[in-house]
Amino acid sequence: MMQKMATPVGMLLTSLALAVCLPAPARADETNRADEVARKLEDPVTQYMVAGALAAVTKQMLDMRVDPFVRAVESAGGRDALPDVPPDATLGDFAGPEARQLPKQIMKRVPALMDSLAGFASASGDMVPELEAAAKRMRDAVPTR
């Protein structure tokens, strides 16, 4: 079912979101926010807590009964679009037996993903001056009235 935890596109989007969220320090003597984020992402306790939270949420979602959703679709007149669903069916039943391994896979893979993001966060601090310069050049290149 799920081959990898993170696809290259997912990693890129996550990294870009992280880069956009990292403000440049206002003064040289302030703590570099990118390095602060990188340290937090590399912290094993933080990694364990994030992985545990994601695994717990995933397990709870897989254990959700689908009957309320079926009733909502039926009340909207969509019964013909639904297969016969046992009243105690869960989202995990529909996701398949491999889905039950997702929480364990999350616990295993999230720390490595966070380590990768930490490296990017650290490097993104060095990118801020270049990004600011590029934004200024673009602003200066746009004609004004």
Average predicted confidence (pLDDT) for the chain: 77
- Is 75 within the bounds of a domain? yes
Residue-level pLDDT at 56: 93
Q: Which of 57-66, 75-84, 92-101, 118-127 has the lowest mean pLDDT?
A: 75-84
- Is 108 within the bounds of a domain? yes
Q: Quick check: pTM over 0.75?
A: no
- Is 11 within the bounds of a domain? no
90 vs 143, higher pLDDT: 90
- Is 54 within the bounds of a domain? yes
Q: Which residue has the tokens 């490097």?
A: 123
- Is 144 within the bounds of a domain? no
Q: Which amino acid is at 56?
A: A
Stretch 36-46: mean pLDDT = 89
- Non-local (6+) Cβ contacts of 13 within 8 A are none
pLDDT tens-digit series, residues 48-58:
999 999 999 99
Instruction: Go through 42-58 and write b for each residue having 16 or more CB atoms within 10 A of its CB, e for each that does not.
Output: beeeebeebbeebbeeb
- Is 1 within the bounds of a domain? no
- Is 58 within the bounds of a domain? yes
- Is 25 within the bounds of a domain? no
Name the DSSP letter for residue 101: G
- Non-local (6+) Cβ contacts of 5 within 8 A are 105, 106, 109, 110, 113
110 vs 82, higher pLDDT: 110
How many independent structural domains does the chain possess?
Answer: 1
Task: Write the CA distances from 47 to 4, 9, 40, 44, 107, integer angstroms.
Answer: 18, 22, 8, 5, 9
Question: Would you say 15 and 123 are in contact if contact means Cβ atoms under 8 Å apart?
Answer: no
Q: Which amino acid is at 141?
A: A
Stretch 9-20: mean pLDDT = 52
Percent of the chain past pLDDT 70, that is, above it, reads 74
Residue 91's domain spans which residues? 36-126
pLDDT surpassing 70 at residue 25: no
3-state secondary structure at position 31 = coil
Residues making up the chain, counted from first to last: 145
pLDDT bracket for residue 102 (50, 70, 90): very high
